[in-house]
Amino acid sequence: MAEENEKEKDFDLKIPPGTPEDIIAATIEKFNLKLVYPTEPQKSPYYLALRGKKEILIQAHDYMRDLLEKRVKKFEEEAGDKRIKKRG
């Protein structure tokens, strides 16, 4: 019974500060999620979250992580090219 209720319930996936807007937008569009910004005063600092079903949020989390990893790898490759200069 509890598992059945969990499937119907919406959950929030907090978005880490600094996550690029295009990655957030792509995730919202791909998984049809809602962007929420809880404003409960007793909570710690303001944050953004994606709201949806638990199973979908797990997939969205993995998708966002993959996009971020690709972005970081691209930046590392670009920075590596600039840091290594031929001498002589």
Write the pLDDT tens digit of every residue in 40-86.
666 666 789 999 999 999 999 999 999 999 999 998 888 876 665 55
CA atoms in the 13 A half-sphere facing the CB of 87: 0
Nearest to 20 by CA among 82, 64, 61: 64
Q: Cα separations (Å) of 79 from 19, 23, 53?
A: 20, 21, 38
CATH for 67: 3.30.1370
Residue 8 domain flag: yes
Dist. CA 22–CA 31, nearest whole Å: 14
- Please check whether residue 59 is in contact with residue 28, taking contact to mean a CB–CB distance below 8 angstroms: no
Range of the domain at 21: 2-83
Write the pLDDT tens digit of every residue in 12-53.
999 999 999 999 999 999 999 999 987 766 666 678 999 999
Residue 57 domain flag: yes
Report how far apart the first and last C-alpha atoms of the chain are (Å, whole number).
72
Count of structural domains within the chain: 1
Residue 88 domain flag: no
């600092």: which residue's tokens?
45
